[in-house]
Amino acid sequence: MPRLLAAVLLGLAFALPAYSNADEAPPILLANVYRDQIDLSRYMVSEKLDGIRAIWDGQVLRFRSGRTINAPAWFIADLPKQPLDGELWIARGQFERVSGIVRREVPDDAGWRDVRYMVFELPGAPGPFSQRVEQIRHLVRQANVPWLIEIQQFFPVDRGSLKKRFDDVVRGGGEGLMLHLADAPYQTGRSDVLLKMKPLQDAEAVVVGHQPGKGRFAGMLGALRVRMPDGREFMLGTGFSDAQRRQPPALGTTVTYRYRDLTAKGLPRFANFLRVREAL
């Protein structure tokens, strides 16, 4: 038996379920921010997709919150029995569309025809990430359905070639790049095993207050007061549509915001509201 195929079958045989309690968020790997100091030769690189994170446990497709994604039966019928981690994605710049499609309680069959499940990880599978990449390729070919696709991974030649790829992706409307440590075993939690390289950074905070608007925004939301995970608070006042200002996120809601960098006090600089996380 060829060595690669044996490794693939070994991975399939010993892969663990993504998680066991459907009422809880599945443990997943989360990215830190890319830094120039890393040993680039040890990382595999892929495009960062602006889709919806989706975890397949072999039977049910779920959001990162643990909620079930109501996908059409045909979409999940031929997915592998092995757990998968990836993004439900349509195309660059289509986040709002794919979000609207996959959040529906009753599946929009026509909309789902445009959705692809872009796989980048095998929860619980043994071996280094570079080997799991080969396993993903094998699983996708075996399933042989057009909506299941492996995210292409490559080793950058040097920092110059990485920067060129990053610039090309961003210029084309992409979000940036992901760097995954090639020899890393599967793990969960936030780690340097996975790094994100973006022109702007995303983070999450909890809504703790509403600031009334003035002038054109009189009678609507002016800004959200939000609390970061470390307990610090700041005002988030831009990035909202008029509809969101009329009906702002409720207190206790987790929101995602985008920012350029941090102030000397460690607060986000030029922060803009991006989306409500609970809606996913």
Q: What would the pLDDT profile of 213-264 be if each residue is shown by its tens digit?
A: 998 899 999 999 999 999 999 999 999 999 999 999 999 999 999 887 777 7
State how beta strands 268-269 and 254-259 pair.
unpaired
CB 7 within 8 A of CB 121: no
156 and 205 share a domain?
no
Of 148, 177, 197, which residue constitutes the final position of a domain? 197
The SS3 call for residue 120 is: strand
CATH number reported for the structural domain that contains residue 145 in this entry: 3.30.470.30
**Do 58 and 136 belong to one domain?**
yes
Range of 243's domain?
Answer: 201-276
Same domain, 59 and 163: yes
pLDDT at 9 over 90: no
- Are residues 146 and 109 part of one domain? yes
Whether residue 25 is found in the same domain as residue 69: yes
Q: Same domain for 136 and 214?
A: no
Residues 278, 65 contacting (CB under 8 angstroms): yes
> Left if phi > 0, otherwise alpha if psi is -120 to 50, otherwise beta: which for 3?
alpha
> How far is 222 from 226, CA to CA, in rounded Å?
13
Q: Is the pLDDT of residue 159 over 50?
A: yes
Which candidate, 259, 256, 210, places its Cα nearest to that of 229? Answer: 256
- C-alpha–C-alpha distance, residues 46 and 20, integer Å: 29
- Does the annotation count 48 as an active-site position? yes
Shared domain for 191 and 212, answered yes or no, is no
Query: Of 37-41, 149-153, 259-263, where does the model show the most confidence?
Result: 149-153
| Whether 101 and 75 share a structural domain | yes
- Among candidate residues 197, 218, 251, the one where a domain is terminated: 197
Q: What's the structural domain count of the chain?
A: 2
Q: Which two tokens stand for residue 78?
A: 């031929």
Residues forming beta bridges with residue 149, ordered by sequence position: 118
Tell me, what CATH number does 219's domain have?
A: 2.40.50.140
Angle between helices 3-14 and 129-143 (to 10 degrees): 90
Structure tokens at 154: 């490559």
pLDDT surpasses 60 at 2: no
With CA atoms as reference, report the closest residue to 133 among 166, 64, 177, 182.
Answer: 182
Residue that terminates a domain, selected from 162, 179, 197: 197
Which is catalytic among the residues 48, 163, 164, 265?
48
Rounded Cα distance between 118 and 47, Å, is 11
Together in a domain, 101 and 83? yes
Answer yes or no: do 167 and 258 share one domain: no
Whether 15 and 153 share a structural domain: yes
